[in-house]
């Protein structure tokens, strides 16, 4: 026999559960991330995972919450977009650093300066220093 959740003052919410703080349940719902008190969760059931979800990090769920469930925090879920979804991005692009890992040595810059000078090209020294 199952009871009607509405008759008991319960309600449900579906979303993608991700790791949160101890004692809290973190749920991604549309473009929001909601932090709920885990003591207010009466029941949780898994939902089928959509295509591209990283299941080791996120799990679609339906939570049944008691009336008056506490919302401990809310914010934008943008930060989770690239973490919980697999995108068709090349490994080399996903792991690329913003800045190159190498730097030109002073000896190389001097050699370069002499090369340009031999062809009458004047390199602005101040510009070189701001670029490095």
Written as one string, the DSSP assignment of 36-55 is EEGGGEEEEEE-PPPTTB-T
pLDDT of residue 62: 95
Q: Are residues 120 and 65 in the same domain?
A: no
Residue 56 lies in a domain: yes
Q: Which residue has the higher pLDDT, 80 or 93?
A: 80
Q: Which residues of 31-70 are buried (b: 16+ CB within 10 A; e: fewer)?
A: eebbbbeeebbeeeeeeeeeeebeeeebbbbebbbbeebe
Contact, 61 vs 15, CB < 8 A? yes
**Residue 130 predicted with pLDDT over 60:** no
Q: Are residues 16 and 65 in the same domain?
A: yes
Residue 96 lies in a domain: no
Burial level of 118, CB count in 10 A (0-12/13-18/19+)?
exposed
Residue 93 lies in a domain: no
Strand-pair category, 71-76 with 41-46: unpaired
Question: 1: which 2 tokens?
Answer: 């026999």
How many domains does the chain contain in total? 2
Residue 116 lies in a domain: yes
Residue 74 lies in a domain: yes
Q: Are residues 28 and 65 in the same domain?
A: yes
Q: Could you tell me the residue range of the domain that residue 110 belongs to? A: 104-132
Contact, 38 vs 63, CB < 8 A? no
Residue 27 lies in a domain: yes
Residue 54 lies in a domain: yes
Residue 97 lies in a domain: no
Q: Are residues 10 and 68 in the same domain?
A: yes
Render pLDDT for 41-68 as a digit per residue (tens, 0 to 9): 999 999 998 888 888 889 999 999 999 8
pLDDT of residue 41: 94
């Amino acid at each position: 026999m199952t009871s009607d959740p509405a008759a008991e003052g319960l309600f449900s919410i579906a979303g993608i559960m991700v790791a949160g703080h101890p004692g809290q349940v973190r749920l991604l719902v549309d473009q929001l991330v909601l932090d709920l008190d885990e003591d207010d969760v009466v029941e949780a059931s898994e939902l089928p995972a959509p295509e591209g979800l990283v299941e080791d990090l996120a799990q679609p769920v339906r939570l049944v919450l008691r009336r008056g469930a506490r919302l401990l925090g809310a914010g934008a879920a943008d930060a989770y977009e690239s973490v919980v979804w697999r995108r068709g991005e090349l490994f080399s692009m996903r792991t690329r650093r913003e800045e190159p890992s190498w730097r030109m040595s002073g000896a190389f810059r001097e050699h370069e300066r002499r090369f340009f000078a031999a062809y009458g090209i004047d390199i602005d020294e101040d510009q070189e220093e701001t670029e490095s």
